[in-house]
Amino acid sequence: MPELPEAETIVRGLRRSVVGERIRRVETPHPDVLRTSPRSFGARVRGRRIEGVGRRGKNVLLRLEGGRIIAVNLGMTGALLPFLRPPRGPGSPTHPAVVFRFDSGAVLVFDDQRRFGTVEALDAAQWEERHTRMGPEPLEEDFTAEALHRALRRSVSPIRSWLLDQRRIAGVGNIYASEALHLAGIHPARRARTVTAGEARLLREAIRDVLQAAIDFGGTTIRDYRNADGQAGEYGRRLHVYGREDEPCMACGAGIRRTVISNRSAYFCPSCQPRRGGARRR
């Protein structure tokens, strides 16, 4: 579910609420989201203070004193919900998987209905290895059109699949892949290597514009996503193609289509995003 803009929105909220808190105790009602035993996870984080909150791709990172990192992948339905007091009754998390209790009495809950998410306590070296395997951050300056074009030229995979591969580019998921390809006028099934240098420039700008705009609106809530304040994101109303099958394209009025690529839906405008380049008419 959450992609880069949703993770970024959560990070900004958590900076206000959990930085400086010291972990007293960890409860794991659903230990399957840890990659280790609850015992060893607890031992690695207990007594540590949270010194900072960061993001890499779709991952939320809690930096602990001493150098360890709690890396949270939100999966499809994960949320990180901070509370000043242990939550009770209406409004408390519905599917708590991991609960951090702090010395101050405050609480951080990793809530995840489907439990595709993960919560891991990594040493600096383990995180570094993970980090190295991931592609560039699309909002950073080193994500250039030239580098994107060079990388695309090496791949015969459909451009939509290419964008979802975290080893190639970090943070893009199914919603923003469709949105960025629409903005750039590129059909989602085109092979990556057929994207021209000019299209790569458009795509680079489209990815950045879409992600930044989504951050500005607090992310997209389709159903479950909530930020660290428990609120929904407002970018859903701004989506041009995702989830809009048969509705008119906001740019040209043609009917938006849904297709399936690698078993996942891709939405596009058949007029703005022709299957083959050079066939555009107006």
Do residues 161 and 262 make contact, with C-beta atoms less than 8 angstroms apart?
A: yes
136 is catalytic: no
d(CA 231, CA 41): 29
Give the per-residue contact string, 16-35, with DNA (x = CB under 7 A; - = no).
Answer: ----------------x---
Tokens of 34: 């840890």
List 91, 262, 275, 280, residue binding DNA (CB under 7 A): 262
Token pair 């809009």 is found at 244
**Phi, psi values for residue 65, rounded to 5°:** -60, 145
3 state SS of 168: coil
3 state SS of 119: strand
Nearer to DNA, 23 or 177 (CB): 177
List 9, 17, 28, 221, residue binding DNA (CB under 7 A): 221
Asked if 126 interacts with DNA (CB under 7 A), we say no
3 is catalytic: yes
Asked if 246 interacts with DNA (CB under 7 A), we say no
- The nearest distance, CB 185 to DNA, in angstroms, is 20
Do residues 205 and 90 make contact, with C-beta atoms less than 8 angstroms apart?
A: no
* Amino acid identity at 94: T
Asked if 96 interacts with DNA (CB under 7 A), we say no
List 76, 145, 202, 250, residue binding DNA (CB under 7 A): 76
Q: Which stretch, 9-17, 64-72, 217-225, 248-256, contacts DNA (CB under 7 A)?
A: 217-225
Please identify every residue annotated as catalytic: 2-3, 58, 264
